[in-house]
Chains A and B, each alone.
Chain A
Amino acid sequence: MRIPDSLFTRRRFLGALIGGWLLALAAAVLSPLRKFIIPPYREPDEVTLPLADYASLGVGEVKPFAWGIKPGFLRKTADGAYLALVGVCTHLDCNVTWLPERSKFFCACHEGWYDENGRNIAGPPPKPLRRLETAVEADNLVVRKPGFVR
């Protein structure tokens, strides 16, 4: 049925009304499900480590730490500061290892190489290892995301 001068029939109007309403219902049901399937994990903004554990580190030596649930590496640089790297290969997410005898980080998955500063030097990695900021605060060594302010 179409009222004179109407742009559409009554059936089309009702069809669109009910169809649109069903779409809205489906969206209202699916959106919480979409949120539910991703668990709330957040990478830490900063981690606090006891400075005593790392104070004895010689220049150029590397010691691991836990960056949330990812491996991290701390290296003492020539000027006595600490360099913090996230030990996850930038190629396909494997954890890297530190090879002290060669002073390089190595990813066994696809033979990726990084130098002691985390720069990608050989193999498939497209980017250097992620760097984090470090600061010595009282008895603690604080590692934080670049630019994070408490």
Chain B
Amino acid sequence: MSRVGAWFEKRLGTSGIIGFLSHKEVPQHEHTIWYYTGSAVLLFLAIQIVTGIMLALYYQPTIEGANASVARIMTEVPYGWALRSVHSWSATFMIAIVFVHMLSIALLKSYRAPRELTWFTGVVLLALSLAFGFTGYLLPWDDLSLAATKVGTDLPKALPVVGAWVTKLMRGGEDVAGDTLTRFFIVHVCVLPLTLLAFLGGHLFLIQRHGISLPLRAERKNETPPSLPFWPNFVLREGMVWLVLFAALLTIAIFFAPSLGPAADLLAPAPAGIKPEWYFLFLFQTLKLFPANILGIPGETIGVALISLAAAFLFFLPLIDSRPAEKRGRVMTAVVAAFIVYALAMSAWSLL
């Protein structure tokens, strides 16, 4: 070790961590491909942080300045259109891979003991990712973003007792207005990033603590599949995945830059045919299905309550299916598969 290295080692004592990482092994089996989804999410998170800081150099979170400042980024600032496009598309990529990551873990039953806490932090990270998408959508302050935020912040109202207060808290008053924009901005660039990094730290720590999970078959036979050193072999393979994803992201972002509508007018009617971002489509379509009244209870209340129940089911999945790690989980596989079919079908229906 060099003298500089020895100086730091004496003061930091990081040789344990480096030793751990240099001996870390990644099992190789038919489901190894799903291991790559986690680091792919990290790639897009890093892109979001860099491009987000960049955009915040010019963005102005006020009712007068928001739309004009985004217009300036799109038309005047060098490569501004490209950065905004990458930020917008990278959000889509990130959420898509977060979904794949979560569903693969649900299908492989990797959430079972002792990895329940890893799953809990993961569900929180999913919720935070969606909150990023929801708050970020308002920031350009055009007609679409205003309508989407009115709907999204109105939904909690359907819940009894706390609902009306939650809506007020999100909007900064009774209605979506300039104060909503400013608080969405600070939540998007400060509250959510700090919370996300805290939970991400816990998530990554827990993954190292328990080691990466094995497929049920290997657990059942109590066998150890062949493995690959994490450094450098697995990291280099991840690097190849990152390069492919990065190339796909840039290509799509360059050719399909997001549009910017005229500045939101609080008095204008909602634009026709309005839809939320793709990752909210299945919820959007679900809520459309409920009639105004079911047995005297407002349909919206039942819809929101059912969605809240589904979210609670998702969060507590490791406690609901708490069987030993080596048991099959056919029921849970069917439930997850049914959810995937439902979400895809509802999304497709909403686009018809």
Chain B window 46-86, contacts with chain A (Cβ cutoff 8 Å), 1 for yes, 0 for no: 00001000100110000000000000000011111011000
- What per-residue 1/0 map shows which CB atoms of A30-57 lie under 8 Å from chain B? 0011011111100000000000000000
Contacts of B82 in A (CB 8 A): 32
Min Cβ gap B56→A in Å is: 11
Q: Report Cα–Cα, A36/B83, bound state, in Å.
A: 8
- Interface residues in B176-223 (C-beta closer than 8 Å to A): none
Which 8 residue pairs spanning A and B have beta carbons closest together?
Answer: A32-B79, A35-B78, A36-B79, A35-B79, A36-B78, A40-B76, A36-B83, A36-B54
Q: A32's closest neighbor in chain B, by CB? A: B79
Q: How far is the CA of A112 from the CA of B104 in the complex (A)?
A: 69
Instruction: Name the distance in Å between B237's Cβ and chain A's nearest Cβ.
Output: 14
For A25, the closest partner residue in chain B by CB is B243
A37 to B50, CA, bound (A): 12
**Cβ contacts under 8 Å, A38 to chain B:** 78
Cα A39 to Cα B57 in complex, Å, equals 9
CA distance A40 to B76 in the complex (A): 7
Question: 6 A–B contact pairs at CB < 8 A?
Answer: A35-B79, A36-B54, A37-B54, A39-B58, A39-B76, A40-B78
**19 further A-B pairs in the complex, CB-CB below 8 A; given A35-B79, A36-B83:** A32-B78, A32-B79, A32-B83, A33-B50, A33-B54, A35-B78, A36-B54, A36-B77, A36-B78, A36-B79, A36-B80, A37-B54, A38-B78, A39-B58, A39-B76, A39-B77, A40-B76, A40-B77, A40-B78
B73 nearest in chain A by CB position = A36
B-side interface residues, number (CB < 8 Å): 11
Contacts of A35 in B (CB 8 A): 78-79
Q: Report the separation of the CA atoms of residues A33 and B49 in the bound assembly, to the nearest whole angstrom.
A: 13
| Cα–Cα, bound, A35→B76 (Å) | 12
Interface positions of B (Cβ within 8 A of A): 50, 54, 57-58, 76-80, 82-83
Which chain B residues lie closer than 8 Å to A40 at the CB level?
Answer: 76-78
The chain B residue sitting closest to A37, CB to CB, is: B57
Inter-chain contacts of B57 with A (CB < 8 A): 36-37
* Residues of chain A within 8 A of B58, CB atoms compared: 39
Which chain A residue shows the least CB distance to B239?
A22
A32 vs B80: C-alpha distance when bound (angstroms): 9
The interface centre, meaning the residue of A33, A36, A37, A39 with most chain B CB atoms within 10 A of its CB, is A36
| Least distance between A19 CB and chain B CB atoms (Å) | 13
Chain B residues lying within 8 Å of A33, measured Cβ to Cβ, are: 50, 54, 79, 83
- Bound-state CA distance A82–B279 (Å) is 64
Docked complex Cα distance between A37 and B76 (Å): 12
In the assembled complex, which residues on chain A have CB atoms less than 8 Å from the CB atom of B54?
A: 33, 36-37
A94 to B79, CA, bound (A): 32
Q: In the complex, what's the smallest C-beta–C-beta distance from A22 to chain B, in angstroms?
A: 9
Residue of B nearest to A31 (CB): B79
Nearest-Cβ distance from residue B282 to partner chain A, whole angstroms: 34
Q: How many Å from the CB of B290 to the closest CB on chain A?
A: 45
Report Cα–Cα, A36/B73, bound state, in Å. 9
Give bound CA distance, A39 to B83, whole Å.
14
Q: Smallest Cβ distance from B53 to chain A, in angstroms?
A: 10
A40 to B73, CA, bound (A): 11
- Cα–Cα distance between A36 and B86 once the two chains are bound (Å): 13
In the complex the two chains form, what is the Cα distance from A1 to B77 in whole Å?
Answer: 50
Chain B residue with the shortest CB-CB distance to A40 = B76
Cα–Cα distance between A127 and B315 once the two chains are bound (Å):
69
Q: How far is the CA of A69 from the CA of B291 in the complex (A)?
A: 58
Inside 8 A of A32's CB, which chain B residues have their CB? Answer: 78-79, 82-83
B78 / chain A contacts, CB cutoff of 8 Å: 32, 35-36, 38, 40
User: B286 → chain A, closest Cβ, in Å?
Assistant: 40
**What is the minimal beta-carbon distance from B167 to any residue of chain A, in angstroms?**
37
Q: In the bound complex, how far is the Cα of B80 from the Cα of A35, in angstroms?
A: 9
Residue of B nearest to A28 (CB): B250
Instruction: Give CA–CA (A144, B80) in the complex, Å.
Output: 31
Provide the bound-state CA to CA distance between A32 and B76, in Å: 14
Bound together, the chains give a CA A64 to CA B69 distance in angstroms of 30
List residues of chain A with CB within 8 A of the CB of B77: 36, 39-40
CB nearest neighbor in B for A33: B54
